[in-house]
Structure formats: C-alpha cells, structure tokens
Amino acid sequence: MLLALREAVESRPVRTVRALFLRAKDAAPKVLETLGRAPSRGREERVRGLDGAVTIARDAFGVPGVFGGSLADVAFGMGYACAEDRLFQMDLMRVALRGELASVLGARPVDDALPFRLPRGATLVDLDAFTRALGFRGAAEASYAIASAEARAWLDAYAAGVNAFVATGRRPLESLLLDLEPGPFTAVDSLLIGKGVAFQLGFAWRFALTYARIAGVVSADKLRALLPTHPLTVTAGAADAIEPVLLHARMLADVLGTEGLHLGSNAFALAAHRTSIGRPIVASDPHMPLHAPDVLWEVRLRGGGIDARGATIPGVPGLPIGQNAHAAWGMTAGWGDDSQVWREDLGALRKAGRLEVTHETIAVRGGDSRTVPVVRTPRGPIVSGATGDEQAIALRWCGDTASLETDGSLALLRARDFDDLRAAARLHSAPTLNFVFADREGHLGWCWAGRVARRPDPGVTSLDLLDGEDPRGQWVGVIPRTSSRSRATRPTA
C-alpha cells in the first residue's frame, strides 16, 4: 500500500500538474494566446507536401481516423494528427534521446518545476551524457540508411505531417509554460524514439546489475536462496560503477514515460469456438504504465492500400497493436537474451590502447556548453560515466545497430495471414516481443521476434555481469532470424 501511495504521489501526472502550476503563476497572459486548441471538427487547412486531400475525422472519444488517397498522404495525416494530440510528448522524447535535454531545460538539478523526476544531485547534463553514450541517434541514422525506399518515404511523409502541424503555430500547454519551441521533426527522430523505447523495454541488463549488487553484500548461500534458478555466474562488486547506470536508466525511463509499477505483460488469442461472438478475439496488454498523456496513442489509417487501426508510441508511424480487414495482432514482452553488461578495468584497457574515446559537446540553456568524453571498450560503450582508470560498466544490446522495424511495421499493416505476420516479425530487432495473431478465417498464431545474442558459452546469459576479458560472454553475432519460434493453428469447428 505504501509503495502504491508513493508511486501515485510521485507519478508523472502529479509531477506534471505541480510543475505546470508553478510555471503558470508566472506566465504572462500573452503566452496563452498561442495555446493549442483541442482538436476541432469541420476545419479545413491548406498545407504543403500532400498528393491530394487528407481527412482527419475523430470519433466520440477523440480518436483520429486518417483517410488519404496515397500511402504518403496517410503517413502525413498520421504525423499531423499525432502532433495535434501529443506534440510535447513527442518533442520531449526526441530531445531526450538525442541527448539534448540540457539545451532546452538547462543544466538544472532536480526541482519541482520539471514534469519528471530526477534524483537529488543529478542534472540533465548527466542524463544527456548517458544517452549519448548509448548511441541511439547513430543506430537510428543507420536504420534509416538501410530501410527500403518505401519505408523511407513513409517516415519522411510522417515527419512532414508533424512539421505541418508545428507550422500552424499552435502549441500544447506544456510547451508554452516550459518555454519550449519544438524543433524540426525528422524521419530519423521516429526511429530514434523507437530505439529509445525499445531499450527501456529490455530488462535483462538491469537484472544483471541488480543481481551483482546483491552478490556483493550477501553470502553465496543467501544468494542461491534469493535466486535459485539463476546460473550464478555474476561478477560481484563494482557497486560504485553499477549505481550510476541504474540511476540514469531510471531517469531516462521517467522522461520517456516508461517508468512505473508495471513489470510483466500478457497477450492472447482465442479461437472462435471459445468466444460468445463466434469469432476469434485477440487481446494485448503490454503493461505500460498509466500516465497522462498515455504511453500509447490510438489511430485509424485508411488509404494507399491499407485500412488498419490500433495503437502505437507517439512519434512512431506503425501499429504494433492493431487490426485490419483481414486480421488482428497484439504483442507482449519477449524477455529475450538481448544484452550484456561487463565490468571493465579502464586502466588496463587504456595501457593496452584498447579504449576508444570521443568527445561530445552538450549545449546548456542559459549556461556554458559542456564537453563530455564518450568511452568505448571492445565490448561496448561505458555507461557508468567513468572516464579515469577506475572500474566501469560497459553495456551492449541488440538494438544498438541498424534494423528494419519500419519495413516490418508496413508489412504488419498489410498482413492477411500468419505467413505475413511471421514475415513482418522477422524484420523486428528490438525489443524482443511475442506477437499473437488471428485472422477472419479463424487461424490463430504466435511468433517470437527480436535479435538474440550468440556467445561461445551457452551457459552465459544477459543476466550475468562478467569481467570484460571473460571469453564466455564475448558476442559472436546474433541467432539467425529463421531460428525464431512460431506456432499456428487451424480453425476448429
């Protein structure tokens, strides 16, 4: 009960209201003149970048339906409608994952005027440095480079729609009171948001670091009692290096709205003969936290050969949970072996010439820019903030390289049967997911999707913190997608 009460008091909605109230008392009336209105009905606007007319019609609950004559126009309308509903949320995620929060909010320590929680003593520069070390932007740019021409056009049109709404001058209340002017939204930003949320939905490396902390303070017998199914190959110690990683990961989760009491998720598909309506039912409950605004955004898309509706992450043009005229699909966490953390000896690596160090300049609003080093070992980036010769934590995950999620999203929107779903799922990299599926003919299906690390020792998993030079945990690629598990059933009379 106390934990639930604390979560409610410290929840994102409560902090947001408190932060906005503190700023509203100082806001001049003229600031509110450009306040974004609630989406209105019956309004016609002329914008550049469309092939033809696009209609955005909202139902009684305000859920938009986007109707266009071409795939590009549908993507444009989706971006416009999402920005109309969630511009501040999209912009905050984009800025955070670029590692640019300090440039718009300053190098401030925690205070009540921020709509998210920071630990005492931490600053946004610390969070920006952590995010840049993880390399989300580079992975997003690489993903755009390998996407198909159709996927790039889809992403470009979506970004053009977002920017068309920004050009209207209407702004959400949060942006006005925090004095934030949204920057241009790009196709890479959509991929960036997808990468960042995927990272937050990978849990194994967090457990590995937590297990290592436990191993450092309890006896081996107690550890086995606490973690009876764990292989117990954890490397104890490095507490000073572990704590900053967990701290900054929680800060990022809070900014993205993925922090909360929501561990676990579920999804299922029921055959027609098990339902009262005589048709299959697909249910998807990803256990994302309840926030205002919500982590997910609903929309219907029709035109250019697609007719689908469902939910997605604001800023990401796809429907990981949805349905079309032929099928319905849902997803839940896959809990895959998709990451690894290592305890690194920076002094030894430096002497051996095996460290790669670059420098990033972090702009700070209202202050001087800061230059921070980004350190990489042969295994991955240092994410614990260490730059000297001390122990540090390196982290690698399966979403930190180029991937084809957008191509998979378009394939999913067009899925007609289980083979289509499985083909779409094989284009997915991170996070690992379970997809469930049903079609109008009564077929049910399940498919596990995502990249999984391959190591020399199969006994080592993502749940282990290893010494950097331990050969058992060195990655030798990923398991081929053709090895992904799946299952389908035929209709039962």
- Domain range summary for the chain, segments of one domain joined by +: 15-201+260-336+400-489
State the Cα–Cα distance between residues 137 and 114, nearest whole angstrom. Answer: 24
Cα distances from 357 to residues 77, 229, 340, 362, 394, in angstroms, run 43, 38, 21, 16, 13
Phi-psi category of residue 361: left, alpha or beta, with phi > 0 → left and psi -120 to 50 → alpha:
beta
Check residue 361 and give its pLDDT. Answer: 95
pLDDT of res. 45: 77
Please tell me whether the peptide bond between 293 and the residue prior to it is cis, using omega within 30 degrees of 0.
yes
In 3D space, the residue among 422, 433, 346 whose CA is nearest the CA of residue 381 turns out to be 346
The DSSP 8-state label assigned to residue 453 in this structure reads B
- Residues near 428 by beta carbon (within 8 Å), at least 6 away in sequence: 403, 405, 408, 449, 450
Residue 5's H or E segment, with its range, is helix 2-9
- Residue 379 and residue 390: Cα distance in Å, rounded? 17
**Per-residue confidence (pLDDT) for residue 484, from 0 to 100:** 57
Query: What contacts 379, CB < 8 A, 6 or more positions away?
Result: 340, 342, 344, 394, 396, 468, 474, 475
Q: What confidence score (pLDDT) does residue 101 get?
A: 92
- What is the spatial distance between Cα 317 and Cα 157, in angstroms, rounded to a whole number? 10
Q: For 45-79, how does the pLDDT look when each residue is reduced to its tens digit (9 = 90+)? A: 777 778 889 999 999 999 999 999 999 999 999 99
CATH of domain 15-201+260-336+400-489: 1.10.439.10
What is the value of pTM for the model shown? 0.88
> Over its length of 493 residues, how does the chain's per-residue pLDDT go in tens digits?
333 333 433 445 545 555 555 554 444 454 445 555 555 556 777 777 788 899 999 999 999 999 999 999 999 999 999 999 999 999 999 999 999 999 998 876 655 455 555 556 678 898 999 999 999 999 999 999 999 999 999 999 999 999 999 999 999 988 888 888 899 999 999 999 999 999 988 888 988 888 888 887 888 788 778 776 665 455 655 777 888 898 888 888 888 877 655 567 888 999 988 999 888 999 988 887 777 788 899 999 999 999 999 999 999 999 999 999 999 999 988 888 899 999 999 999 999 999 999 999 999 998 999 999 999 999 999 999 877 778 899 999 999 999 999 999 999 999 998 889 889 988 999 998 989 999 988 889 898 899 988 888 888 888 888 888 888 888 888 887 655 566 777 666 5
Residue type, 282: V
pLDDT of residue 479: 82
